[in-house]
C-alpha cells in the first residue's frame, strides 16, 4: 500500500498546484499569487496540510479557516486527486484536520459541496456532516439579454428622485467607500438564509479586502442613491476575475426601507450592461441562497438559468 505522509504546505513549491485545486473546488479561477497573498494576510486563521507519497508528489490537501466573527466556527476545503481517491488519502487528511480543529477548540466545521459531486457529499455525510442550506449558481447569456424593457423602470425611479451612479462616478472616495461598506454589510446580513454573521471585521478590513483588491472595479459597483435623503438605497457589484471570460456578481442588496420599488432590478440591469458593453463578457454568473426567493424571482425574470447547486454542510465537534 502506498505510504502517505502529511506536512505543512510550502508556498513557494505547493501553492501553484493548490491554486489549481481551489479553482476546481470553487469553480472560479484562483491564481498562485492571489493564494499566497491571502495566506500571508490570514496566516493566523489558517491550518493546512498537504498529503504526499514516497516520491513527494502532492496527492491532496486540506485548508481550514477560522471564522473571524463566529467564535468556534471553521470553514473547510479538502481535495484529493481523482486518481488517488479510494486509497485513504482523504481519510488521512480528514483525521488530521479534525484533530487540528479540536486542538484549536473549534466547535463546528462547515464545508461546501457541489450537488453533482456525489462522492464528495457521501464522504461528508459518512463523517457526520449535516446539510444546512443550499446555494444556486445561475448564469445569464449577455449576448441575448434584452435590457430595453427596463429603461422605463430606470426612468421612473430617476424621476422619483433616485440617482444611479457607479462608484467611479461617485469618486470612489473614502466617504463613498464607507457608505458602500455599510450598505454591503447590512444587506448581506439580511439575505434570507444568512446567519447574520458580518463578512468583514470593520471598514478598514472591508477596504483592504475589497476596495484594494485587484478585482475591484469602481465602474462595476452601481448604486441607487435617494437624493432627497442622501441614503444609499440599493447596490449591485460585478467584476471579471483574471483568467475568467465570465463576469461574476459580487453582491446585490437593497435597503429594507426601499424594497418593493424595483431598485434592485434597476441597478442590476445597469451592471449587466457594464458587464456586456465594457467588460465584454458573454456570460454573467450569480450565486443565490435557495431561500432568497425574491432574488431568485428577479433573476428568473431577467433570464438567468440555474446551472449548479452547492450544499452547505456542518459538523458539530465534541
**In 3D, which of 269, 231, 268 has the Cα closest to residue 252?**
268
Residue burial 95-130, b: 16+ Cβ < 10 Å; e: rest:
eebbebbeeeebebbbbbbbeebeebbebbeebebe
Asked whether the predicted pLDDT for residue 102 surpasses 70, the reply is yes
Asked whether the predicted pLDDT for residue 215 surpasses 80, the reply is yes
What pLDDT is attached to residue 269? Answer: 96
pTM: predicted TM-score of the whole model, two decimal places: 0.78
What pLDDT is attached to residue 37? Answer: 87
Asked whether the predicted pLDDT for residue 1 surpasses 60, the reply is no
The tens digit of pLDDT for each residue in 168-177 reads 999 999 999 9
Asked whether the predicted pLDDT for residue 277 surpasses 60, the reply is yes
Confidence of residue 294 (pLDDT cuts 50, 70, 90): confident
What pLDDT is attached to residue 41? Answer: 85
The tens digit of pLDDT for each residue in 7-20 reads 999 999 999 999 99
CB-based contacts of 149, cutoff 8 Å, min separation 6: none
Backbone angles phi, psi at 30, to 5 degrees: -135, 125
What pLDDT is attached to residue 193? Answer: 66
Rounded CA-CA distance 14/282 in Å is 33
Asked whether the predicted pLDDT for residue 301 surpasses 70, the reply is yes
The tens digit of pLDDT for each residue in 36-83 reads 988 998 889 999 999 999 999 999 999 999 987 677 889 999 999 999
What is the rounded average pLDDT of the residues 219-247? 92
What pLDDT is attached to residue 19? Answer: 94
What pLDDT is attached to residue 111? Answer: 94
Distance of CA 193 to CAs 21, 135, 298, Å?
Answer: 28, 10, 17
Q: Number of C-alpha atoms within 13 angstroms, CB side, residue 234?
A: 24
Fold classification of 5-106 (topology level): Aminopeptidase (3.40.630)
Q: Number of C-alpha atoms within 13 angstroms, CB side, residue 26?
A: 15
**In 3D, which of 239, 303, 301 has the Cα closest to residue 271?**
239
Rounded CA-CA distance 61/271 in Å is 37
Rounded CA-CA distance 206/210 in Å is 6
* 3-state secondary structure at position 101: helix
Find how far residue 178's CA is from the centre of its chain.
21
Using left for φ > 0, alpha for ψ between -120 and 50, and beta otherwise, residue 161 falls in left
What is the rounded average pLDDT of the residues 76-92? 92
What is the rounded average pLDDT of the residues 154-181? 97
What pLDDT is attached to residue 207? Answer: 93
Domain 138-308 in the same topology as domain 5-106: yes
Helices (H), the chain: 11-26, 32-42, 89-103, 118-125, 151-159, 174-189, 203-206, 263-277, 293-302
Asked whether the predicted pLDDT for residue 185 surpasses 90, the reply is yes
Would you state the cell numbers that stand for residue 83, as one nine-digit string? 486518481
Task: Please name the CATH architecture into which domain 138-308 falls.
Answer: 3-Layer(aba) Sandwich (3.40)
Asked whether the predicted pLDDT for residue 236 surpasses 60, the reply is yes
Amino acid at each position: 500500500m502506498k505510504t502517505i505522509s502529511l506536512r505543512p504546505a510550502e508556498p513557494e513549491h505547493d501553492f501553484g498546484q493548490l491554486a489549481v485545486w481551489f479553482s476546481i473546488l470553487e469553480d472560479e479561477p484562483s491564481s498562485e499569487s492571489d493564494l499566497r497573498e491571502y495566506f500571508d494576510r490570514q496566516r493566523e486563521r489558517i491550518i493546512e496540510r498537504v498529503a504526499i507519497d514516497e516520491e513527494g508528489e502532492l496527492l491532496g490537501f486540506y485548508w481550514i479557516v477560522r471564522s473571524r466573527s463566529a467564535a468556534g466556527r471553521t470553514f473547510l476545503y479538502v481535495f484529493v486527486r481523482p486518481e488517488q481517491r479510494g486509497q485513504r488519502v482523504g481519510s488521512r487528511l480528514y483525521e488530521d484536520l479534525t484533530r487540528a480543529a479540536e486542538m484549536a477548540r473549534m466547535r463546528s466545521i462547515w464545508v461546501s459541496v457541489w450537488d453533482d459531486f456525489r462522492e464528495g457529499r457521501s464522504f461528508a455525510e459518512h463523517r457526520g456532516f449535516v446539510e444546512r442550506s443550499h446555494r444556486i449558481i445561475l448564469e445569464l447569456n449577455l449576448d441575448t439579454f434584452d435590457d430595453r424593457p427596463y429603461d422605463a423602470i430606470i426612468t421612473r425611479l430617476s424621476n422619483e428622485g433616485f440617482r444611479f451612479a457607479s462608484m467611479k462616478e461617485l469618486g470612489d472616495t473614502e466617504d463613498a467607500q464607507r457608505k458602500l461598506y455599510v450598505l454591503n454589510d447590512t444587506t448581506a446580513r439580511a439575505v434570507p438564509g444568512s446567519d447574520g454573521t458580518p463578512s468583514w471585521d470593520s471598514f478598514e478590513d472591508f477596504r483592504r479586502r475589497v476596495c484594494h483588491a485587484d478585482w475591484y472595479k469602481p465602474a462595476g459597483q452601481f448604486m441607487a442613491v435617494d437624493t432627497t435623503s442622501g441614503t444609499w438605497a440599493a447596490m449591485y457589484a460585478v467584476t471579471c476575475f483574471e483568467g475568467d471570460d465570465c463576469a461574476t456578481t459580487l453582491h446585490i442588496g437593497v435597503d429594507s426601507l426601499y424594497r418593493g420599488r424595483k431598485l434592485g432590478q434597476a441597478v442590476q440591469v445597469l451592471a449587466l450592461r457594464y458587464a456586456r458593453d465594457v467588460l465584454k463578457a458573454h456570460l454573467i454568473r450569480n450565486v443565490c441562497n435557495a431561500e432568497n426567493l425574491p432574488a431568485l424571482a428577479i433573476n428568473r425574470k431577467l433570464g438567468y438559468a440555474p446551472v449548479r447547486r452547492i450544499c452547505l454542510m456542518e459538523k458539530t465537534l465534541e
